[in-house]
């Protein structure tokens, strides 16, 4: 499961005032721009059959809309309240279709014979007596209306602006959604007949009360034309017995002497297209098919019609579950006298939870109803909801349909009509039916995702443009392969669109995922609908290396030369070229003592150019530097190796930190040109010659907050020290600048979180470098000036000058005490300068601070943004870009 957050700061116009580079609260607007997966709190379904969209409502006020081609959308209500009902309303007419629905006051569906299809869609639902309208095209909450009484029923007249609302007092109301004003309006009870009917058909509404009373209202006559109740049942008590152990479907002619006057309704649906047969489920487990065709115009004689109903029972037991849900799918071959009845409930208490499908036929009259087939679907999880999607695009129409079944937690399965019909006709009873599972766009559990990385692709050069063209061709090929290799997903709606901050430059950002089985998948994340570009295993054909298929533990990507580095738990580092050539067939296998070159033929996937096996310790960090000419590899044991990606060789290897057994958790690399100025951006470094590697330093951080500085050219250690005496757990480390150190140190030396806590101020100690030190000789005073090192620990933030860290001075310029344990951090840029720090706490709180001041400018929570709680190890599956985009993956359950 995947969500993507976006900070508004990158959309802000450039400030001409150089002193206003820090992020402010006005720059921030955290929100979800991309979401994949079914939420674990999913509870209710609705379909748009014309466009082929599925809406999934949750218990915490979210609506997930799913279409085709990986198109998904998430709507989040301001309040975390469960949905009572969820339906689709269309507002502009393009096509006229004949449809029949039902309206009930307990669980409603609506009756109407006119459907209007149009391009703009709004989702209507009732949320704790609060009616809301979502505009799907604009993805915003268009209107809401608070209801005074308890709402018990709600339904939209499909294709119109009208909807019915029933309450606990038995009253029926009419609402109209004014699309121009964006408001829900109370209406007089009367609805114009021309608004609900067409082509001369009679429009009728069925009202069903909880106590079993059924009323048919005619919109043209503006009056009741039929009243029915359980006391009017004329059935001779013919009960269709359909026990799992008894497949004879016998009709019993037993007559009960004790027929109750009232019987509570729990569900209902039309069982015919012309409105003649109504299926009603009751709380005692009974299902009754009412024949309304013969007495629809004889309301004055409700009790004189024989055999006007048939009772069905799924179990012969005396204690049965309520019939929670009913759906009907007509069989064209039966001329509106048969079809499939989908049932949840009605089984004996204590029996296995199943979804039952009955194949019914009453071509010889309802009194001669036959059950010609039964299928019990074993559910994968507890039942939440189900719905039918007609392939014709018309709800309630005859023809093939797809059955969507939602189970907990957040599992969605689809059963094809052809598959179900074939199984219904088989002589042997089968309960396990192959279903089309919800197509997980990006797998997170099978296989298990261990690491992910969001990477930007700089599209200025010819190499990037060539890669974008190659990726487009690969996406098309992968899509065709997936379509041919699996059963078709029935949803087809939605149109792909770019993210609001994306330019028209082809492939702009990628999401790279590594898995426990050693595989890697690369996705085009330029659009909200992710597209798979590459999927490959890390094994190399023709070479056997121990641990080559181990779990992926680290990733890094260099967009300047399209190199991908992959590290695993067995200490192996793979180097891939995403845009390879058929002439590049050599693979370099490098160990501590050997350097072998193998000639291999690699096609249709990224080409592995080198495999490094240097240490038997998990790779924890990978970072390209100097335009991809260097790769820094950090191992869990605390050792660091620097690789030359041009010669595919080892430049140097550091020894373990003396006296420390703490694992390495973070790396930071700063490269200097031969001039005394720092290379500040990839564009600057791209202008340098590939042979001009410049000078640089590497800082690596261990979990016990030990910072080691080494020379990036020779590997010589420059300094090594604990940054502060207190016991603390380090999380991350960043180098940024250029900033006036005197300005930062002159403000506050120690701050407490939150921002209103009392702060202490102390002057920073002056830092001196000996005139003849190696540092002075290699790095000019100007290149180090204004560079800062930010150390993030679970309980505090520490800000140092890079100059002091190199010298080995552990006195911080600024310290911020955190009142809650911090689990993850990242920085982002504004106007190409690091200006903001994001902190994610164990509590799920999100804090955004300005850089370098470390002042709080925004406070949010995971729950308020995406309805998540923080889980253990969630920080391992979070990645970000320097533009304020954050991807979070719940690798344990749907969220």
Residue 56: inside a domain: yes
Beta carbons within 8 Å of 739's beta carbon, 6+ residues apart: 786, 787, 788, 852
**Confidence bin at 686 (pLDDT 50/70/90):** very low
pLDDT in tens, 154-182: 787 777 778 888 888 888 888 888 877 87
Domain end, chosen from 819, 851, 886, is at 819
Domain extent at residue 95: 38-199
Residue 826: inside a domain: no
Same domain (yes/no): 75, 192: yes
Instruction: Give the CATH number for residue 130.
Output: 2.130.10.10
Max avg pLDDT among 83-87, 110-114, 793-797: 793-797
Same domain (yes/no): 407, 346: yes
Predicted local distance difference test score (pLDDT) of residue 214: 85
- Residue 613 has, within 13 A of its CA and on its CB side, a CA count of 16
Residue 306: inside a domain: yes
Dihedral angle of Cα 498, 503, 506, 510, to the nearest 10 degrees: -70
Predicted local distance difference test score (pLDDT) of residue 482: 44
Same domain (yes/no): 296, 429: yes
pLDDT in tens, 53-87: 899 999 988 888 888 777 788 888 888 888 888 88
Same domain (yes/no): 192, 248: no
Domain end, chosen from 378, 413, 439, is at 439
pLDDT of 97 higher than 50: no
Which own/partner pairs from 354-359 qualify as long-range (CB within 8 Å, at least 24 positions apart)? 354/378, 354/379, 354/431, 355/379, 355/383, 355/386, 355/405, 356/242, 356/314, 357/420, 357/424, 358/242, 358/312, 359/331, 359/424
Same domain (yes/no): 153, 242: no
pLDDT in tens, 635-678: 988 889 999 999 999 999 887 665 567 888 898 988 876 544 34
**Confidence bin at 725 (pLDDT 50/70/90):** low
Instruction: For residue 826, give the H/E element and its range.
Output: strand 822-830
SS3 helix, strand, coil % of the chain, rounded to 5? 10, 40, 50
Predicted local distance difference test score (pLDDT) of residue 19: 45
Q: pTM of the predicted model, to two decimals?
A: 0.78
| Mean pLDDT calculated for residue range 738-760 | 46
> Nearest 5 degrees, angle CA 886-CA 441-CA 83?
80
Total count of domains within the chain: 3
Task: Calculate the CA 844 to chain-centre distance.
Answer: 18
Same domain (yes/no): 255, 392: yes
Same domain (yes/no): 180, 325: no
pLDDT in tens, 284-296: 999 999 888 755 4
Beta carbons within 8 Å of 699's beta carbon, 6+ residues apart: 667, 668, 669, 670, 707, 708, 709, 733, 735, 789, 805
Residue 809: inside a domain: yes
**What is the spatial distance between Cα 27 and Cα 25, in angstroms, rounded to a whole number?**
5
Residue 287: inside a domain: yes
| Mean pLDDT calculated for residue range 677-683 | 40
**Confidence bin at 218 (pLDDT 50/70/90):** confident
Instruction: For residue 514, give the H/E element and its range.
Output: strand 509-515
**What is the spatial distance between Cα 608 and Cα 588, in angstroms, rounded to a whole number?**
9
**Confidence bin at 16 (pLDDT 50/70/90):** very low
CA distances from 520 to 176, 378, 401, 555, 568 (A): 51, 34, 37, 10, 11
Beta carbons within 8 Å of 646's beta carbon, 6+ residues apart: 629, 690
Show the tokens assigned to 477.
């090929």
Residue 653: inside a domain: no
Predicted local distance difference test score (pLDDT) of residue 52: 84
Domain end, chosen from 199, 221, 237, is at 199
Predicted local distance difference test score (pLDDT) of residue 183: 83
**Confidence bin at 501 (pLDDT 50/70/90):** very low
pLDDT of 469 higher than 60: yes
Same domain (yes/no): 181, 247: no
pLDDT of 776 higher than 70: no
| Mean pLDDT calculated for residue range 238-267 | 57
Same domain (yes/no): 683, 798: yes
Q: What percentage of the chain exceeds 90 in pLDDT?
A: 22
pLDDT in tens, 544-597: 888 998 999 999 999 888 899 999 999 999 999 888 666 667 899 999 889 999
Show the tokens assigned to 786.
């204004």
Predicted local distance difference test score (pLDDT) of residue 779: 57
Residue 865: inside a domain: no
Least confident of 193-207, 729-743, 833-847: 193-207
Same domain (yes/no): 190, 233: no
Same domain (yes/no): 235, 189: no
Predicted local distance difference test score (pLDDT) of residue 122: 54
pLDDT of 104 higher than 80: no
Show the tokens assigned to 256.
């009960």
Q: Which of 563, 542, 536 is nearest to 644 (CA)?
A: 563
Predicted local distance difference test score (pLDDT) of residue 689: 37
Same domain (yes/no): 178, 239: no
Predicted local distance difference test score (pLDDT) of residue 691: 42
Residue 593: inside a domain: no
């Amino acid at each position: 499961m995947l969500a993507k957050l976006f900070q508004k700061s990158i959309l802000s116009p450039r400030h001409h005032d150089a002193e206003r580079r820090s992020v402010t609260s006005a720059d921030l607007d955290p929100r979800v721009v991309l979401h994949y997966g079914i939420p674990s709190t999913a509870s209710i379904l609705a379909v748009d059959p014309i466009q082929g969209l599925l809406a999934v409502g949750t218990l915490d006020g979210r609506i997930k809309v799913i279409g085709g081609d990986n198109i998904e959308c998430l709507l989040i209500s301001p309040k975390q309240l469960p949905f009572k009902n969820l339906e689709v309303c269309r507002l502009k007419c393009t096509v006229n279709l004949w449809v029949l629905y039902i309206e009930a006051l307990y669980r409603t569906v609506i009756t109407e014979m006119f459907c209007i299809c149009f391009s703009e869609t709004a989702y209507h639902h009732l949320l704790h007596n609060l009616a809301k309208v979502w505009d799907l095209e604009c993805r915003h909450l268009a209107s809401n209306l608070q209801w005074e009484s308890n709402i018990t029923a709600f339904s939209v007249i499909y294709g119109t602006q009208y909807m019915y609302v029933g309450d606990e007092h038995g009253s029926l109301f009419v609402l109209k959604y004014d699309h121009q004003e964006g408001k829900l309006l109370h209406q007089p009870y009367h609805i114009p007949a021309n608004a609900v009917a067409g082509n001369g058909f009679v429009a009728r509404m069925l009202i069903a009360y909880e106590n079993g009373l059924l009323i048919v209202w005619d919109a043209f006559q503006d009056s009741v034309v039929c009243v029915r109740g359980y006391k009017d049942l004329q059935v001779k008590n013919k009960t269709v017995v359909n026990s799992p152990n008894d497949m004879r479907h016998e009709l019993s002619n037993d007559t009960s002497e004790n027929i109750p006057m009232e019987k509570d309704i729990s569900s209902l649906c039309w069982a015919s297209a012309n409105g003649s047969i109504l299926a009603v489920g009751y709380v005692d487990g009974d299902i009754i098919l009412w024949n309304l065709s013969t007495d629809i115009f004889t309301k004055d004689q409700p009790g004189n019609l024989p055999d006007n109903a048939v009772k069905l029972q799924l179990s012969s037991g005396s204690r049965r579950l309520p019939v929670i849900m009913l759906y009907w799918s007509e069989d064209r071959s039966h001329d509106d006298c048969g079809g499939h009845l989908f049932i949840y409930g009605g089984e004996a208490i204590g029996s296995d939870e199943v979804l039952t499908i009955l194949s019914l036929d009453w071509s010889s009259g309802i009194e001669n109803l036959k059950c010609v087939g039964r299928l019990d679907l074993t559910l994968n999880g507890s039942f939440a909801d189900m719905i039918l999607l007609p392939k014709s695009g018309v709800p309630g129409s005859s023809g093939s349909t797809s059955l969507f079944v939602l189970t907990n937690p957040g599992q969605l399965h689809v059963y094809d009509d052809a598959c179900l019909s074939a199984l219904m006709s088989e002589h042997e009873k089968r309960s396990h039916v192959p279903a089309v599972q919800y197509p997980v766009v990006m797998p997170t559990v099978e296989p298990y995702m261990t690491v992910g990385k969001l990477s930007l692709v700089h599209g200025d050069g010819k190499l990037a443009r060539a890669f974008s063209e190659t990726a487009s061709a690969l996406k098309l090929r992968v899509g065709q392969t997936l379509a041919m290799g699996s059963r078709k997903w029935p949803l087809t709606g939605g149109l792909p669109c770019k993210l609001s901050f994306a330019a028209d430059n082809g492939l702009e950002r990628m999401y790279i995922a590594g898995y426990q089985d050693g595989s890697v998948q690369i996705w085009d994340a330029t659009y909200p609908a992710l597209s798979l570009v590459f999927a490959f295993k890390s094994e190399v054909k023709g070479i056997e290396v121990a641990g080559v298929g181990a779990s992926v533990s680290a990733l890094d990507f260099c967009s300047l030369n399209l190199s991908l580095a992959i590290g695993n738990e067995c200490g192996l580092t793979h180097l891939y070229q995403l845009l390879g050539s058929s002439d590049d067939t050599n693979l370099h296998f490098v160990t501590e003592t050997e350097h072998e070159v193998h000639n291999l033929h690699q096609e249709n996937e990224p080409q592995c150019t080198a495999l490094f096996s240097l240490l038997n310790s998990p790779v924890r960090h990978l970072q390209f530097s100097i335009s991809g000419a260097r790769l820094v590899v950090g191992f869990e044991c605390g050792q660091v190796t620097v690789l030359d990606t041009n010669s595919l060789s080892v430049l140097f290897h550091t020894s373990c930190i003396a006296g420390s057994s703490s694992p390495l958790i973070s790396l930071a690399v700063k490269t200097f040109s031969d001039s005394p100025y720092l290379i500040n951006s990839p564009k600057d470094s791209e202008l340098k010659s590939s042979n001009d590697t410049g000078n640089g330093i590497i800082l690596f951080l261990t979990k016990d907050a030990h910072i080691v500085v080494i020379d990036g050219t020779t590997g010589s250690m420059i300094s090594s020290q604990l940054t502060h005496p207190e016991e603390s757990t380090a999380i991350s480390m960043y180098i940024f600048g250029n900033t006036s150190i005197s300005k930062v140190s002159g403000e506050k030396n120690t701050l407490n979180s939150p921002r209103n806590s009392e702060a202490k101020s102390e002057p920073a100690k002056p830092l001196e470098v000996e005139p003849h030190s190696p540092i002075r000789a290699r790095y000019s005073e100007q290149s180090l000036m204004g560079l800062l090192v930010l150390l993030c620990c679970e309980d505090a933030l520490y800000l140092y000058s890079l100059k002091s860290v190199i010298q080995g001075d552990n006195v911080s310029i600024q310290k911020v005490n955190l009142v809650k344990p911090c689990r993850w951090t990242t920085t982002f840029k504004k106007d190409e300068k690091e200006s903001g720090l994001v902190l994610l706490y164990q509590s799920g709180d999100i804090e955004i601070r300005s850089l370098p001041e470390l002042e709080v400018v925004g406070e949010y929570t995971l729950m308020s943004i995406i309805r998540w709680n923080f889980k253990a190890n969630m920080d391992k599956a979070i990645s970000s870009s320097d533009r304020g985009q954050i991807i979070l993956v719940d690798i344990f359950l749907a969220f």
